[in-house]
Amino acid sequence: MNYKVGTLLEKERLTDKIFRMKLHHPQIASKVRAGQFILLLMDERSERVPFAVSDWSGEDGWIEFAFEVVGYSTRRLSEVEPGYGFLNVAGPLGNPVEVEGGIDVCVVAEGIGISEAYAVARAFREAGCAVRSVLGADRESELFYLDKVGSVSDEVFLCTKDGKWIPERLREVMEAKRPDLVYTVGKVETMKAVSELTKELGVRTLASLRPIMLCGIGICGSCRVKVGGKIRLTCLDGPSFDAHQIDFDELLARMGMFREEERVVSEVMK
Ligand SMILES: Cc1cc2nc3c(=O)[nH]c(=O)nc-3n(C[C@H](O)[C@H](O)[C@H](O)COP(=O)(O)OP(=O)(O)OC[C@H]3O[C@@H](n4cnc5c(N)ncnc54)[C@H](O)[C@@H]3O)c2cc1C
Ligand code: FES
């Protein structure tokens, strides 16, 4: 079935498991800002899946995102070809990152978080900020968007698990020149380590969270996180929060809640 909402214009394999997609969607393209996301529904058999918008053109009416194949929905998404029309594309959702001009920013991204980091780095760069980007992936072959991030950063530092990992490299970068703000997006464990480091060095930090998200509009509560001792909804109040206030341990525990169900769906629907 082809629904022709948000038609797929381009699809490109960036790494073994990561794809880039460009969709025709003039309404979202005219409004979206860095840090926001969409909810994509492929067809009646799918669930709505959130993806950060990484690039867009309001003038030409397209949006771009990158995704990693991790389970049933992302595997099916990787199988559709240009011309495919999605059942629904909702967005832009969440709050854009608040961009201050003229400050020194470090953008720290791991894995698929690099696509969001590109949009955020570009927004700060356009506002006249100095931008340094620290990008990490388990292996070098899993890094992507390097030209894009490079084009909006003063310096880019690459990290892999067999060399200096993100917190160690970030410490060096911050000690060389103290940034005014760190923006981080990646695995919860890595963002927690980044947050502990920046707290120690006294640098304001925003972490962009990706909890389980079902409705995207504040109804189901699946995306709740504890920030500063209070329950917040990532879809409405986030996705980025003051990292030093986030309860990362509780977030980690919640992320694993549906692991068995996700494994079963992935097996049964193969
Ligand atoms: C605000 C937001 C923005 C996001 N942006 C992107 C993006 O730009 N690109 C991208 O590839 N992914 C992004 N994600 C994560 C993406 O939505 C999930 O990877 C996707 O829903 C998994 O669906 P699935 O059916 O393929 O896998 P599932 O079968 O649902 O899960 C497979 C595995 O992935 C894990 N997983 C499920 N949901 C998440 C999640 N939210 N974060 C981390 N691991 C998860 C599961 O625990 C499980 O181990 C974002 C999530 C949020 C909340
Ligand atoms: S995803 Fe349902 S409340 Fe946020």
* Alpha carbon distance 2, 4 (integer Å): 6
For residue 212, the CA-to-ligand 2 centroid distance in Å is 8
- Cβ–Cβ < 8 Å for 106, 132: yes
Q: Which residues, listed in sequence order, are joined to residue 242 by a DSSP beta bridge?
A: 206
Expressed in angstroms and rounded, the spacing between residue 190 Cα and the centre of ligand 2 is: 24
Q: Which amino acid residue places its CA nearest to atom 6 of ligand 1?
A: 51
Query: What's the 263 CA to ligand 1 centre distance in angstroms?
Result: 13
Quick one: average pLDDT of 186-192?
97
CB 188 within 8 Å of CB 111: no
What confidence tens digit (pLDDT) does each residue in 29-48 have? 999 999 999 999 998 888 89
Question: What is the position in ligand 2's atom list of the atom closest to the CA of 221?
Answer: 3
218-252 residue pLDDT tens = 999 999 999 999 999 999 999 999 999 999 999 99
Residue 231, CB-side half-sphere exposure with 13 Å CA sphere:
5
Q: Which domains does the chain have, with CATH numbers?
A: 8-93 (2.40.30.10), 104-255 (3.40.50.80)
Rounded mean pLDDT, 253-259:
72
Residues near 230 by beta carbon (within 8 Å), at least 6 away in sequence: none
CA pair distance 56, 62, nearest whole angstrom = 6
Cβ-based neighbours of 263, under 8 Å, separated by 6 or more: none
Question: Residue 1: pLDDT band by 50, 70, 90 thresholds?
Answer: very low
Answer whether the bond into residue 82 is a cis peptide, omega within 30°.
no
Residue 254 has what pLDDT?
83
pTM of the model: 0.93
Rg of the chain on CA atoms, in Å? 18
- Residue 214 CA: which ligand 2 atom is closest? 1
